[in-house]
Amino acid sequence: MVAVQTTSVRVPEPVQDVFETLIRKAQSGDQVAFGKLYEMFRPRVAKFLFNATGDYCLADELSNDVFFRAHRALADLRQHKESSFLSFLFCIAANLLRDHYRRKKLSTTVMGEGCWESLSVDTQSCPQSWEHLEAQERSDMLRQALAELPAEQSSLISLSHFEELNAEQIAQILNKPSAQAVRAALHRAMKHLHAVLVRQGYFQAAAIC
């Protein structure tokens, strides 16, 4: 009788299991694992901070602070899902924004040169059509207007409209009592943003219902 040799096929771990393993390794002090988390999530955090401030350099500086604080507080993270970790990072980022504007009443401006590929526009390969220039102008004006809002209001708008998070997720990140409280705060923030844009001459005043 001939023995048949079988080869065991390793089934890859589900993506969520892989992520949980990465988090647990980082919590145990594995710097390589934390470096991978940094590479995965820093662009998202930097984009959120840029949308909230309109300032590349400030967003770059605060992004580094976010991960410095995340590294120190990572042991406190109890849920190991990707969405939970992202909320954890956004919560730190929102707190840093509040602290920053509490210390300094800084007027930020949009800088002409970008720092990250995901945020900058390649002027060599991208056709400079009127439509593109108008869209860029609108985007710049929106970010300038957001920079004039209180940190919590700009964070609310950025999380809702740029990150496309729902009211329940935002409530957790910004420590709001309920999703309804987030919707009410977001409504006030949008009215304030509308008033700033009117003052900038972007469009005629109109009531927001």
Question: Does pLDDT of 7 surpass 80?
Answer: no
Segment 189-208 mean pLDDT: 74
Question: Does pLDDT of 191 surpass 80?
Answer: yes
Virtual CA dihedral for 108, 51, 61, 67, nearest 10 degrees? 150
| pLDDT tens, residue by residue, 136-172 | 566 667 777 787 888 788 888 888 888 888 899 888 8
With beta carbons less than 8 A apart as the criterion, state whether 151 and 103 touch. Answer: no
Question: 110-132: buried (b, 16+ CB within 10 Å) or exposed (e) per residue?
Answer: beeeeeeeeeeeeeeeeeeeeee
| pLDDT tens, residue by residue, 71-103 | 999 988 887 778 888 888 998 998 888 887 777
Three-state DSSP class for residue 196: helix
Question: What is the pLDDT, as a whole number, of residue 34?
Answer: 93
Question: What is the pLDDT, as a whole number, of residue 108?
Answer: 40
Mean of all residue pLDDT scores within the chain = 75
- Band (pLDDT 50/70/90 cuts) for residue 69 is very high
Q: Tell me the residue type at 67.
A: F
Our measurement of the distance from residue 145's CA atom to the centroid of its chain's CA atoms, rounded to an integer in Å, reads 18
Question: What is the pLDDT, as a whole number, of residue 204?
Answer: 53
Question: Does pLDDT of 29 surpass 60?
Answer: yes
pTM comes to 0.63
Give the separation between CA 110 and CA 56, rounded to whole angstroms.
7
Question: What is the pLDDT, as a whole number, of residue 138?
Answer: 66
Virtual CA dihedral for 118, 119, 123, 126, nearest 10 degrees? 60
How distant, in Å, are the alpha carbons of 43, 129, 191 from that of 125? 22, 12, 37
DSSP output for 120-132? ---TTTS---HHH
Our measurement of the distance from residue 205's CA atom to the centroid of its chain's CA atoms, rounded to an integer in Å, reads 30
Domains along the chain with CATH numbers? 15-107+144-199 (1.10.1740.10)
Question: What is the pLDDT, as a whole number, of residue 125?
Answer: 37
Closest CA to 74 of 128, 48, 38, 118: 38
Question: What is the pLDDT, as a whole number, of residue 62?
Answer: 92
Give the separation between CA 17 and CA 77, rounded to whole angstroms.
16
